[in-house]
Amino acid sequence: MDLRFLQTFVYVVELGSIAEAARYQNLTPASVQQRIRTLDASVGSQLLLRSGRTVRPTLAGQRVLELAKKILNDAHDLHAMASDTDLPAGPLRLGATPTAIIGIVPETLKRWFSNHPDVEVYIEPGSSKALYARILERALDAAILVHPRFEFPKHYAWQEIRKEPLMLVTPFAFSVTDTLEVISTHPYICYRATHI
Protein backbone atom coordinates (compact mmCIF):
# COMPACT_ATOMS: atom_id res chain seq x y z
CA MET A 1 0.00 0.00 0.00
CA ASP A 2 1.41 3.36 -1.05
CA LEU A 3 1.37 5.83 1.86
CA ARG A 4 0.86 8.71 -0.58
CA PHE A 5 -2.47 7.18 -1.56
CA LEU A 6 -3.43 6.82 2.09
CA GLN A 7 -2.53 10.49 2.65
CA THR A 8 -4.66 11.47 -0.33
CA PHE A 9 -7.61 9.58 1.16
CA VAL A 10 -7.20 11.49 4.45
CA TYR A 11 -7.02 14.83 2.64
CA VAL A 12 -10.15 14.06 0.60
CA VAL A 13 -12.09 13.24 3.78
CA GLU A 14 -10.78 16.25 5.71
CA LEU A 15 -11.33 18.71 2.86
CA GLY A 16 -14.60 17.11 1.75
CA SER A 17 -13.77 17.36 -1.93
CA ILE A 18 -11.59 15.63 -4.51
CA ALA A 19 -10.94 18.99 -6.21
CA GLU A 20 -9.80 20.57 -2.91
CA ALA A 21 -7.57 17.60 -2.09
CA ALA A 22 -6.08 17.82 -5.59
CA ARG A 23 -5.32 21.54 -5.15
CA TYR A 24 -3.86 20.94 -1.70
CA GLN A 25 -1.49 18.26 -3.03
CA ASN A 26 -0.76 19.98 -6.34
CA LEU A 27 -2.30 17.07 -8.27
CA THR A 28 -5.03 16.81 -10.87
CA PRO A 29 -8.48 15.64 -9.74
CA ALA A 30 -8.04 12.63 -12.06
CA SER A 31 -4.83 11.67 -10.19
CA VAL A 32 -6.63 11.90 -6.86
CA GLN A 33 -9.51 9.74 -8.18
CA GLN A 34 -7.00 7.16 -9.46
CA ARG A 35 -5.28 7.03 -6.08
CA ILE A 36 -8.61 6.49 -4.34
CA ARG A 37 -9.60 3.72 -6.79
CA THR A 38 -6.24 2.02 -6.24
CA LEU A 39 -6.63 2.32 -2.46
CA ASP A 40 -10.19 0.91 -2.68
CA ALA A 41 -8.84 -2.09 -4.62
CA SER A 42 -5.98 -2.51 -2.14
CA VAL A 43 -8.26 -2.67 0.92
CA GLY A 44 -11.06 -4.50 -0.93
CA SER A 45 -13.77 -1.98 -0.11
CA GLN A 46 -15.09 1.38 -1.31
CA LEU A 47 -13.91 4.09 1.08
CA LEU A 48 -15.67 7.18 -0.28
CA LEU A 49 -19.15 8.16 -1.49
CA ARG A 50 -19.81 11.12 -3.77
CA SER A 51 -22.74 13.39 -3.14
CA GLY A 52 -22.73 16.12 -5.79
CA ARG A 53 -19.41 17.92 -5.49
CA THR A 54 -18.77 16.76 -1.95
CA VAL A 55 -17.32 13.47 -0.82
CA ARG A 56 -17.82 11.62 2.45
CA PRO A 57 -16.40 8.39 3.82
CA THR A 58 -18.38 5.16 3.67
CA LEU A 59 -18.72 3.09 6.83
CA ALA A 60 -15.53 1.28 5.83
CA GLY A 61 -13.90 4.65 5.11
CA GLN A 62 -14.80 5.93 8.58
CA ARG A 63 -13.25 2.82 10.12
CA VAL A 64 -10.09 3.18 8.04
CA LEU A 65 -9.69 6.94 8.60
CA GLU A 66 -8.36 6.94 12.19
CA LEU A 67 -6.01 4.03 11.53
CA ALA A 68 -4.82 5.75 8.32
CA LYS A 69 -3.94 8.88 10.32
CA LYS A 70 -2.07 6.78 12.87
CA ILE A 71 -0.14 4.93 10.15
CA LEU A 72 0.79 8.23 8.49
CA ASN A 73 1.90 9.74 11.80
CA ASP A 74 3.97 6.66 12.62
CA ALA A 75 5.54 6.73 9.15
CA HIS A 76 6.37 10.42 9.63
CA ASP A 77 7.94 9.68 13.03
CA LEU A 78 9.96 6.82 11.53
CA HIS A 79 11.26 9.08 8.77
CA ALA A 80 12.00 11.89 11.22
CA MET A 81 14.03 9.59 13.48
CA ALA A 82 16.18 8.37 10.58
CA SER A 83 18.67 11.21 10.90
CA ASP A 84 22.42 11.22 11.45
CA THR A 85 22.22 14.55 13.29
CA ASP A 86 20.62 15.74 16.52
CA LEU A 87 17.70 17.04 14.46
CA PRO A 88 14.94 14.87 13.05
CA ALA A 89 15.30 14.32 9.30
CA GLY A 90 12.07 16.19 8.61
CA PRO A 91 9.88 17.31 7.14
CA LEU A 92 8.80 19.68 9.89
CA ARG A 93 5.01 20.07 9.93
CA LEU A 94 4.32 23.54 11.30
CA GLY A 95 0.93 25.08 11.91
CA ALA A 96 0.48 28.85 12.13
CA THR A 97 -2.32 31.37 12.45
CA PRO A 98 -2.68 33.81 9.53
CA THR A 99 -1.17 36.66 11.55
CA ALA A 100 1.79 34.47 12.56
CA ILE A 101 2.35 33.49 8.92
CA ILE A 102 2.66 37.16 8.05
CA GLY A 103 4.46 38.44 11.15
CA ILE A 104 6.57 35.68 12.72
CA VAL A 105 7.07 32.83 10.25
CA PRO A 106 9.08 34.54 7.45
CA GLU A 107 12.01 35.61 9.66
CA THR A 108 11.91 32.33 11.57
CA LEU A 109 12.05 30.31 8.34
CA LYS A 110 14.92 32.41 7.08
CA ARG A 111 16.96 31.51 10.17
CA TRP A 112 15.78 27.89 10.08
CA PHE A 113 16.89 27.35 6.47
CA SER A 114 20.25 29.00 7.06
CA ASN A 115 20.89 26.54 9.92
CA HIS A 116 19.06 23.46 8.54
CA PRO A 117 18.90 23.70 4.73
CA ASP A 118 18.14 19.98 4.29
CA VAL A 119 15.06 19.85 6.53
CA GLU A 120 11.86 20.60 4.62
CA VAL A 121 9.11 22.62 6.30
CA TYR A 122 5.40 22.32 5.53
CA ILE A 123 3.17 25.09 6.85
CA GLU A 124 -0.50 24.55 7.60
CA PRO A 125 -2.55 27.71 8.20
CA GLY A 126 -5.48 27.65 10.60
CA SER A 127 -7.16 29.14 13.62
CA SER A 128 -5.62 28.55 17.04
CA LYS A 129 -8.43 26.15 17.91
CA ALA A 130 -7.94 24.10 14.71
CA LEU A 131 -4.15 24.02 15.07
CA TYR A 132 -4.41 22.92 18.70
CA ALA A 133 -6.61 20.02 17.58
CA ARG A 134 -4.08 19.14 14.86
CA ILE A 135 -1.30 19.07 17.47
CA LEU A 136 -3.33 16.70 19.67
CA GLU A 137 -3.93 14.46 16.62
CA ARG A 138 -0.15 14.48 16.04
CA ALA A 139 -0.81 15.80 12.53
CA LEU A 140 1.54 18.73 13.27
CA ASP A 141 4.96 18.78 14.95
CA ALA A 142 4.54 22.32 16.23
CA ALA A 143 2.18 25.27 15.89
CA ILE A 144 2.32 29.01 16.41
CA LEU A 145 -0.99 29.96 17.99
CA VAL A 146 -2.65 32.12 20.60
CA HIS A 147 -2.33 30.52 24.03
CA PRO A 148 -5.67 28.96 24.97
CA ARG A 149 -7.40 29.80 28.23
CA PHE A 150 -6.57 26.36 29.64
CA GLU A 151 -3.42 24.46 30.43
CA PHE A 152 -1.81 22.21 27.85
CA PRO A 153 -1.53 18.49 28.61
CA LYS A 154 1.69 17.74 30.52
CA HIS A 155 3.34 15.88 27.62
CA TYR A 156 3.24 19.03 25.42
CA ALA A 157 5.63 21.96 25.78
CA TRP A 158 4.57 25.59 25.47
CA GLN A 159 7.13 28.26 24.55
CA GLU A 160 6.04 31.88 24.62
CA ILE A 161 7.26 33.67 21.49
CA ARG A 162 5.64 37.05 21.80
CA LYS A 163 3.23 39.00 23.97
CA GLU A 164 1.04 41.43 22.13
CA PRO A 165 -1.11 44.10 23.77
CA LEU A 166 -4.74 44.55 22.86
CA MET A 167 -5.38 47.90 21.25
CA LEU A 168 -8.46 50.01 20.74
CA VAL A 169 -8.33 51.86 17.42
CA THR A 170 -10.73 54.80 17.14
CA PRO A 171 -11.26 57.72 14.77
CA PHE A 172 -8.83 60.55 15.43
CA ALA A 173 -11.67 62.82 16.60
CA PHE A 174 -12.43 60.54 19.59
CA SER A 175 -11.07 61.71 22.88
CA VAL A 176 -10.56 58.43 24.73
CA THR A 177 -10.03 58.67 28.46
CA ASP A 178 -11.75 55.42 29.44
CA THR A 179 -11.32 52.49 27.03
CA LEU A 180 -14.05 50.38 28.63
CA GLU A 181 -16.51 53.26 28.46
CA VAL A 182 -15.83 53.71 24.72
CA ILE A 183 -16.32 49.98 24.08
CA SER A 184 -19.56 49.87 26.05
CA THR A 185 -21.10 52.94 24.38
CA HIS A 186 -19.91 52.69 20.75
CA PRO A 187 -20.12 49.99 18.08
CA TYR A 188 -16.89 48.07 17.46
CA ILE A 189 -15.50 45.16 15.50
CA CYS A 190 -14.75 42.08 17.56
CA TYR A 191 -13.11 39.00 16.08
CA ARG A 192 -14.80 35.72 16.87
CA ALA A 193 -12.75 33.42 19.09
CA THR A 194 -12.89 30.77 16.36
CA HIS A 195 -10.95 33.06 14.01
CA ILE A 196 -8.03 33.62 16.35
Q: CATH topology of 3-80 equal to that of 83-144?
A: no
Lowest mean pLDDT among 48-52, 156-160, 188-192: 188-192
Q: What is the pLDDT of residue 57?
A: 92
The CATH architecture one would assign to domain 83-144 is 3-Layer(aba) Sandwich (3.40)
Model confidence pLDDT, tens digit, residues 68-110: 888 887 776 666 665 565 665 567 889 999 888 988 899 888 9
Q: Percentages helix, strand, coil for the chain, rounded to the nearest 5?
A: 50, 10, 40
pLDDT score recorded for residue 30: 92
Following DSSP, what letter does each residue of 7-35 receive, concatenated?
A: HHHHHHHHHT-HHHHHHHHT--HHHHHHH
Query: In this predicted model, what pLDDT tens digit does every residue of 110-138 receive, in sequence order?
Result: 988 888 887 788 888 988 888 888 888 77
58 pLDDT above the threshold of 90: yes
pLDDT above 70: residue 20: yes
| Confidence at residue 46, expressed as pLDDT on a 0 to 100 scale | 93
* Report field, pTM of the whole predicted structure over 0.75: no
Which residues, including other chains, have CB under 8 Å from residue 8's CB and lie 6 or more apart?
21, 25, 27, 32, 35, 36, 39
Contact 33, 18 (CB under 8 A): yes
Pick the CATH number of 3-80 from 3.30.70.330, 1.10.10.10, 3.30.70.270, 2.60.120.200: 1.10.10.10
- Please state the rounded mean pLDDT for residues 4-16: 89
Q: What pLDDT is attached to residue 44?
A: 92
* Cα–Cα–Cα angle for 176, 179, 183, rounded to 5 degrees: 105
Of the two residues 53 and 145, the one the predictor is more confident about is 145
Could you tell me the residue ranges of all domains in the chain? 3-80, 83-144
What would the pLDDT profile of 139-184 be if each residue is shown by its tens digit? 888 899 888 777 777 778 888 888 877 778 888 887 888 888 888 8
